[in-house]
Amino acid sequence: MRNEKNIEMHELIGLECEVIESTNPLQTGIRGEIVDESYHMLVIRSERGKKMIMKKGAKFKINLNGENVVVMGDRINYRPHERIKKLLRRRRRW
């Protein structure tokens, strides 16, 4: 089950998202549904079409079961299927 503690290890596609900080100031404030994810990018379907947002250097507010969770793009800057393994390894070291 996805919650605020393990959201980084789960699938993000289908969740509502807002870019609250980005290295590109024009991307700040973009909101919509995450429709795709790659190694370095999130694709968000906004009112003005699909927007590709670099994960690195960005901060996202993700709506998870009615709660807003802030996710740092640097922490999810992996391929979706590799992110789980890498973050699990990091957790074991703590």
Tell me the C-alpha distance between 2 and 17, whole Å.
Answer: 15
Tell me the C-alpha distance between 61 and 67, whole Å.
Answer: 10
What pTM, to 2 d.p., does this model score? 0.85
| Structural domain 7-93, CATH architecture | Roll (2.30)
* Residue range 13-46, pLDDT digits in tens: 999 999 999 999 999 999 999 999 999 999 999 9
Name the band, by pLDDT with cuts 50, 70 and 90, for residue 65: confident
**Domain boundaries, given as residue ranges, for the chain:** 7-93
